[in-house]
């Protein structure tokens, strides 16, 4: 057993949806979450810049004795994963939010049509399209940038007429006709998963990204015999720029009141 914390980082607070599910699946694990709110969104940054931010945060998490690193950000996962992996001690688990989803859909939707929605940067990188083709060329994968959704959710517009109208405007795209599943490739989107499912009349599987990722982490830590068994897990949440808006949104994303601490990293 190993009661050191799991280090989690994101460009902002959206990754708290992953942290929330990880805490549900692994309630005895301590976590140190770092949201780089001073530099969001990563999707508008160059690969070199994203890598630089990711390495700085990784170094911070390592200094705080984390036993594993989870990159809870699609942009950083697609751009900086290999660099983070090189930065950590040999054998330390490093997770991203893309590979578990590719593995899931490739095993479950052979020769089927699958949709992916995400930010402009994530969709523009075609990371899901390219990796799905490598894993199972029989899958027909269609992508769409849904750039307004993340901002809409952060502003508190979900489960209302406004969110339903925006969701419909994006998903009525004819390319989504006949899909068996939809991958929400943004950590904000679990908050509107029910609304998306309702739009598809509950006939399309909305891939549960937080659960799939959390279960992968659980399995990997168990295999390495480093699961925690703390009776009082320590949940520590940090951001690089603290505002009242981030504090309010953090509670929405994590599902309960969250106390954020500001920590500016020197790069």
Catalytic residues: 73, 186
Packing angle, helices 127-135 and 99-108, rounded to 10: 50
Residue 236 CB neighbour total at 10 angstroms? 15
Instruction: Tell me which residue of 56, 52, 62, 76 sits closest to 6, measured CA to CA.
Output: 62
Place of tokens 């052979």: 110
Tell me how far the alpha carbon of residue 18 is from its chain's centroid.
Answer: 6
Instruction: Tell me which residue of 180, 146, 175, 153 sits closest to 253, measured CA to CA.
Output: 153
Packing angle, helices 209-223 and 16-25, rounded to 10: 50
């Amino acid at each position: 057993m190993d009661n050191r914390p799991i280090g989690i980082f994101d460009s902002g607070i959206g990754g708290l949806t992953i942290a929330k599910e990880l805490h549900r699946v692994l309630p005895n694990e301590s976590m140190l979450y770092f949201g780089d709110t001073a530099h969001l969104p990563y999707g508008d940054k160059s690969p070199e810049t994203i890598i630089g931010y990711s390495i700085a945060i990784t170094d911070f998490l390592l200094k705080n004795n984390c036993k594993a690193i989870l990159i809870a950000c699609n942009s950083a996962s697609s751009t900086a994963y290999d660099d983070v992996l090189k930065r950590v001690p040999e054998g330390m688990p490093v997770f991203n939010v893309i590979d578990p989803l590719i593995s899931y859909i490739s095993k479950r939707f052979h020769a089927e049509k699958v949709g992916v929605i995400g930010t402009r940067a994530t969709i523009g990188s075609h990371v899901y399209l390219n990796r799905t083709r490598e894993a199972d060329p029989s899958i027909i994968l269609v992508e769409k940038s849904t750039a307004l959704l993340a901002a809409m959710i952060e502003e508190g517009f979900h489960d209302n007429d406004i969110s339903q109208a925006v969701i419909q405007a994006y998903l009525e795209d004819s390319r989504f006709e006949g899909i068996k599943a939809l991958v929400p490739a943004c950590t904000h989107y679990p908050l509107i998963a029910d609304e998306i499912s309702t739009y598809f009349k509950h006939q399309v599987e909305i891939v549960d990204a937080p659960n799939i990722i959390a279960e992968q982490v659980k399995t990997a830590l168990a295999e390495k015999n480093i699961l925690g068994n703390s009776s009082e897990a320590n949940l520590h949440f940090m951001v690089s720029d603290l505002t009242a808006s981030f504090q309010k949104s953090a509670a929405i994303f994590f599902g309960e009141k969250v106390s954020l601490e500001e920590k500016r990293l020197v790069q």
